[in-house]
Amino acid sequence: MTVRSEPAQHAGMRASNLALVLGEIARTGSVSRARVAAHTGLTKSSVSALVTDLISAGLVAESGPASTERGRPATALALAPAGAAGLGLEINVDYLAAVVTDLAGAPRYHHVVRRDNRDRGVDEVVADLIDVARTAAGSAAAQGLPLAGACVAVPGLAVDGTVVRAPNLEWPRVDLADSVGDAIGLEVVLENEANLAALGEMWFGGHQDDSAPLRDFVHVSGEIGIGGGIVIDGEVFRGAHAGAGELGHVVVAPGGPRCACGGHGCLERMAGQQEILARAQVATMADLTHACEAGDQAALDAVADAGRHLGVALASVLTLLDPAAIVLGGAFATLAPWLSAATSASIGHHTGATEPPPLLVSGLGSDAAVRGAAGTVVRRVIADPAAYLAQRPAGRVGPS
């Protein structure tokens, strides 16, 4: 019928507090029960009981005594690395990738298969992805990491486990979640590559300051197309039909040339890889980088021009969304040395802001999306441990 939040019951209260405690342990890395109590507002007794459950569920482990100034030393609590793990997969235009991440977010397996997937059949690519996934799952099992699920990054729009649109792969509708899920025996979730890259950057990009983690920003991922991921309060913003964040099709040249999307003057049409390469008169991104390093003027002009157009799009993003930062990822991260000055100048020219938010450069590059995919799985476990434990009857909660 309509939006209707769940009733608050005892089980929900416990689930919520379980998540609160686990989240605090995850956030700090290592804390005592007493500090968790102080930080969360729960009493020591409640925290003790909750921690007991988390330990017996295998999600948390005591990691030895921790020295304190005075008084009895605390016992440090940390996420149990072998408590739960996430499998991240990625289908992209020119590669397949897999990552296994443990509960703490550390990558424990990473594999990339480079191959152009544009001219191959869907079934062929899916079979390859399943192969990659099986190998990754095998590695996880060998390391004693129980996979809590999988998440696949796709270069297109995914709704309810189905790839609805993948322009650069020219795929029809594909029920990817079901086919992959059946093959590897895990629950599989699909998500747009640009959104996952943004999350990966937030969790693993190293931009977060301990006092003020980056939770409101826009991530620009320049792969073959130009994607955008909007993160609001730590969560991806998807819009009413899961189509939000399409930075590549923001208008930067009203009345400009027609774009493949059907619009006119889109950013992707003016500053996409095809356009930059053509203007710089080189064949590949590697060539472009070399040309820029060599000081080739045509290459530098092409990149700076793309930077200017990007700045126009970002100026609109800043006025509309007021993010705390912008992160340049993918190809834009590689080109940042020759691009960001033009982009910053263009942003400054098109907004009146005296102090625009920082323009950061991704440290993960093309790995951001797979890392984000794997992180999504373990973050979900941390955000709702009760749901995870209920789902797998192997893990038993409660005493005796």
- What values do phi and psi take at 247, rounded to 5? -55, -30
Q: Which residues bind DNA (CB under 7 A)?
A: 7-11, 13-14, 17, 32-35, 41-46, 48-52, 65, 67-75
The least distance separating DNA from the CB of residue 32, rounded to whole angstroms, comes to 3
Q: List the end-to-end C-alpha distance of the chain, in Å, as a whole number.
A: 42
Write the single-letter amino acid at 309.
Answer: H
Q: Which is nearer to its own copies, 216 or 301 (CB)?
A: 216
* Residues 157/374, Cβ–Cβ less than 8 Å: no
Q: Which is nearer to DNA, 32 or 92 (CB)?
A: 32
Q: How many CB atoms lie within 10 A of CB 346?
A: 21
Q: Which is nearer to DNA, 41 or 262 (CB)?
A: 41
Q: Which is nearer to its own copies, 88 or 248 (CB)?
A: 248
Asked if 11 interacts with its own copies (CB under 8 A), we say no
The least distance separating its own copies from the CB of residue 126, rounded to whole angstroms, comes to 27
Nearest to 231 by CA among 248, 217, 210, 251: 217
Q: Among its own copies, DNA, none, what does residue 240 contact (CB within 5–8 Å per kind)?
A: its own copies
> Which of the residues 237 through 276 are near its own copies (CB under 8 A)?
237-247, 249-254, 259-265
Q: Which is nearer to its own copies, 186 or 342 (CB)?
A: 342
The least distance separating its own copies from the CB of residue 93, rounded to whole angstroms, comes to 19
CA distance 259 to 34: 58
Which tokens hold the place of 373? 């995919």
* Residues 130/184, Cβ–Cβ less than 8 Å: yes
Asked if 17 interacts with its own copies (CB under 8 A), we say yes
Q: How many CB atoms lie within 10 A of CB 123?
A: 10
Q: Encode 255-275: b = buried (16+ Cβ within 10 Å), e = exposed.
A: eeeebeeeeebbbbbbbbbeb
Asked if 80 interacts with its own copies (CB under 8 A), we say no
Which tokens hold the place of 398? 């409660």
Asked if 319 interacts with its own copies (CB under 8 A), we say yes
Q: Among its own copies, DNA, none, what does residue 295 contact (CB within 5–8 Å per kind)?
A: none
Q: Among its own copies, DNA, none, what does residue 5 contact (CB within 5–8 Å per kind)?
A: its own copies
CA distance 309 to 329: 16
> Which of the residues 273 through 312 are near its own copies (CB under 8 A)?
312
> Which of the residues 332 through 351 are near its own copies (CB under 8 A)?
349-351
Q: Which is nearer to DNA, 74 or 157 (CB)?
A: 74
* Residues 369/193, Cβ–Cβ less than 8 Å: yes
* Residues 179/126, Cβ–Cβ less than 8 Å: yes
Asked if 170 interacts with its own copies (CB under 8 A), we say no
CA distance 375 to 191: 12
Q: Which of 106, 127, 298, 353 binds its own copies (CB under 8 A)?
A: 353
Asked if 65 interacts with its own copies (CB under 8 A), we say no
Asked if 1 interacts with its own copies (CB under 8 A), we say yes
The least distance separating DNA from the CB of residue 7, rounded to whole angstroms, comes to 5
CA distance 123 to 350: 46
Asked if 9 interacts with its own copies (CB under 8 A), we say yes
Asked if 234 interacts with its own copies (CB under 8 A), we say yes
Asked if 383 interacts with its own copies (CB under 8 A), we say no
The least distance separating its own copies from the CB of residue 103, rounded to whole angstroms, comes to 20
Q: Three-class SS of residue 358? A: coil
The least distance separating DNA from the CB of residue 38, rounded to whole angstroms, comes to 7
Q: Which of 34, 38, 39, 301 binds its own copies (CB under 8 A)?
A: 39
Give me the sign of the Cα torsion angle 323, 324, 330, 332. positive
